Amino acid sequence: MLVIVAPGQGAQSPGLLRPWLEDPTFASRFAWLSTVAGLDLVHHGTESDAETIRDTEVAQPLLVAAGLVAALELFPHPADAFSTIGAVAGHSVGEIAAAAGARVISAEQAMVLVRERGRAMAAAAAATPTGMTAVLGGERDEVLAALGRHGLTAANDNGPGQVVAAGTLAQLEALAADPPAKARLVPLSVAGAFHTQHMAPAVEHLGRLARSVSTHDPRTPVISNRDGRVVHDGRDVLARLVGQIASPVRWDLCMDTMLDLGVTGVLEMPPAGTLTGIAKRAMKGVETFALKTPDQLDAARAFVDKHGEASSIDTTPTWRMVVSPAKGTFHLDEAAAAADVLAPEATIGDVASLRDRTTVTAPHGGQVVEWLVEDGDLVSPGQPLVRLHPQGAA
């Protein structure tokens, strides 16, 4: 099974678009997204220096646009993607690219959202001197204890031995003077303490804008940064994109879900390398492909052919399906089991795992056509639970 992933801020490098823009189709599409974003992303992706593209207002739209247009190069006919991709995920701002790739939002909506996200996060970062530091190695409990001791947040949890601390510069300096045992600290080149409460003003701003964004339920399962859950409700995907600005990125849980899904191949969209590097260390036995330049496209398509298979929600109109958000045991709600018609947001049951218990609802409701699981069945992330027919549909 194939998972497509999109990297987050920090993956950008000077000149990253230069080889891609030699293709006139890529260039025209990128120019269009640049226009939507109101930024000369062509210039920033070819001529701007590292300090310029470090700017949150530049880096975030640049990353999302690069991923979206490269995806169209990889899948010239987007419908082909839905028959081969098992799931998508994005790290931090990469979630916006993943959501657009799964057709939750359009590319144009993605560019407006990421433009405003970058601006709002830059403004929030400017309010207080904050930053982020990677903590590499050390025992997990000791690392988290050290962060808590200095009032820092584990803003990114990227798997064993890779936690990113975020907070004020004074707090980060205190951590540097009192680091956890056997850990190496690497200050990151970012503008502020992303994915912490310092970004709350940005959440408020994007939340207001999101009220006017129309969504569709994803054509491909989306794995959420918040908790590694498979999300199959477009409104929930959008709400998570907004809240994620001030909440930690749990990439470790995203990788756990990929393994639960049975992933065999992870392909990272450009500027690639960061997430495939993490996957090589944390997901033993899973093949990876870092798509960095257009001369790799043929090899990337071969990788897709090798690992691709249709997701479990692709063969039926997605608005008729409710799927499991996680791996575990499904417990059917008695009222739902007895109902012929489910109201919007009706609870159909829950999925219990060793980690927690997650309530499952039918976001749009509908007439029950067929239960696809029974009470007590073991289910996997993204597995269809019930088939519904929209009320009022012919």
> Catalytic residue numbers?
92, 195
Residue at 246: amino acid letter: A
DSSP 27-61: HHHHHHHHHHHTS-HHHHHHT--HHHHHSHHHHHH
Angle at 220 between CA 373 and CA 325, to 5 degrees: 45
DSSP code for 179: P
Q: Are 69 and 29 in contact (CB under 8 A)?
A: yes
Residue that is written with structure tokens 């979206």 in the block: 68
d(C-alpha 226, C-alpha 160), whole Å: 18
Residue (of 63, 58, 35, 33) closest to 48 by Cα position: 58
- H runs (alpha helix) in the chain: 24-37, 41-46, 50-54, 56-74, 78-82, 94-101, 107-127, 140-149, 169-177, 200-210, 234-243, 251-261, 274-282, 297-307, 334-338
Q: Is the dihedral of CA 5, 34, 240, 232 positive or negative?
A: negative
How does 145-171 read in b/e, with b if 16+ C-beta sit within 10 Å?
ebbeebebbbbbbbbebbbbbbbbeeb
- Residue 391 phi/psi, 5-degree rounding, is -65, 135
Residue (of 17, 2, 13, 97) closest to 300 by Cα position: 2
Angle at 121 between CA 255 and CA 132, to 5 degrees: 60
d(C-alpha 331, C-alpha 321), whole Å: 17
**DSSP-assigned beta bridge partners for residue 183:** 137
**DSSP-assigned beta bridge partners for residue 90:** 6
